[in-house]
């Protein structure tokens, strides 16, 4: 256990004040120990992974941080079991090296394995809900160990029961994925498909070679948008996409289309998904936009970046964007990062 740990060192945004108490938890027993400590002190507890989707207050956190450091990957047939503290991109690299298809398009996403079911992370035509078999978790209330199957998780776009109905009720310990051996990668994203189709003799390559090529090109696309953490790239000092792509009804879309006929859109069941980046840019927040010591990435309108500023600066900018998008399009943008104070 550590005291007064600077949380900016545990955040991809490099923001936040000190945590009163900080536990590195590398076992279920150490997690329970930290929870018991918090209860004995009468303090709130927050579970932290890689800090890539977390925004800490400038004043810090007067509670107990449980930093999940659980490690381990093991395989049984097409089922891959990964501990919650495993680095997500390293895990994806491992599966690609094993010739297992299903999460290769999720390469380069920062964070830990444990966050993948919570957020139902997705990118370039894939979502983890398509491959998750089960989630092992600790119920905070009574320290009970439970296993949730895929249906139990209530997955939807960037959502799960762990982020909505049961937010803060469980600590993810391990996730099991079902991936496909010797299977062709499924490429649904137009930008990625264009790059892959331009590769000479791609169709003649082995399934594993194709998986590796897809991973490499996803990383290339993400790096071009500064969506891969890079100490040498100031545009990557972010939490990735700050806003979720809003999903609206068909009637709402038809109404908006009359005023904005050029509005890009994608079908989402019987609803319509609108790119949040387009809404942000059309509301006047262009790439490189600066507000105090925060700003919009020069590479991608959805990434808000820290320019040696404060959490307060970033939140003010986010609120400006949300207010202006609401005024212009009557759409309420939802933030992706979790704010901890």
Active centre residues (catalytic): 158, 241, 336
CA distances to 254, 255, 325 from 259, rounded to whole Å, are: 9, 7, 14
Alpha helical stretches, state H, the chain: 28-41, 88-97, 115-119, 190-197, 207-224, 250-259, 276-282, 311-329
In a 10 Å sphere around its CB, with 0-12 CB exposed, 13-18 middle and 19+ buried, how is residue 148 labelled?
Answer: buried
The DSSP annotation for 40-70 comes to: HHT--EEEESSSTTEEE-TT-EEEEEEEE--
> For residue 22, which of 38, 171, 142 has the smallest C-alpha distance?
38
Q: Rounded to an integer, what distance in angstroms lies between the CA atom of residue 131 and that of residue 39?
A: 36
**Which phi and psi (to 5°) does residue 120 adopt?**
45, 60
Report the number of secondary-structure helices (H) and strands (E) in the chain: 8, 22
Q: Are strands 61-68 and 18-25 parallel, antiparallel or unpaired?
A: parallel
């Amino acid at each position: 256990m550590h005291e007064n740990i600077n949380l900016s060192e545990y955040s991809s945004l490099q923001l936040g004040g000190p945590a009163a108490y900080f536990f590195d938890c590398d076992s279920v027993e150490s997690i329970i120990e930290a929870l018991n400590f918090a209860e004995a002190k009468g303090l709130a507890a927050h579970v932290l992974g890689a800090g890539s989707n977390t925004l800490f207050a400038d004043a810090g956190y007067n509670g107990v941080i449980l930093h999940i450091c659980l490690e381990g990957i093991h395989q049984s047939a097409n089922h891959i079991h990964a501990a919650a503290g495993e680095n997500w991109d390293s895990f994806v690299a491992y599966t690609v090296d094993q010739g297992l298809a299903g999460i290769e398009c999720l390469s380069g996403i920062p964070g830990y394995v444990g966050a993948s079911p919570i957020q139902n992370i997705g990118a370039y035509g894939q979502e983890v809900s398509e491959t998750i078999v089960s989630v092992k978790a600790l119920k905070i209330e009574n320290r009970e160990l439970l296993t949730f199957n895929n249906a139990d998780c209530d997955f939807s776009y960037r959502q799960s029961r762990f982020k909505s109905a049961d937010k803060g009720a469980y600590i993810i310990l391990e996730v099991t994925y079902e991936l496909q051996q010797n299977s062709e990668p499924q490429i649904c994203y137009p930008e990625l498909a264009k790059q892959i189709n331009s590769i000479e003799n791609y169709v003649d390559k082995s399934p594993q070679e194709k998986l590796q090529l897809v991973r490499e090109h996803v990383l290339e696309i993400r790096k071009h948008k500064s969506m891969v953490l890079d100490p040498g790239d100031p545009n990557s000092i972010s939490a990735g996409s700050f806003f979720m792509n809003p999903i609206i009804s068909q009637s709402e879309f038809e109404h908006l289309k009359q005023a904005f006929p050029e509005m890009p859109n994608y079908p989402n069941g019987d609803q319509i998904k609108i790119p949040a980046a387009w809404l942000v840019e059309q509301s006047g927040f262009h790439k490189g936009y600066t507000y105090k010591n925060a700003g919009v990435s020069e590479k991608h309108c959805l990434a808000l970046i820290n320019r040696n500023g404060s959490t307060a600066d970033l939140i003010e900018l986010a609120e400006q964007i949300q207010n202006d998008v609401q005024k212009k399009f009557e759409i309420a943008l939802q933030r992706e990062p979790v704010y901890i104070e």
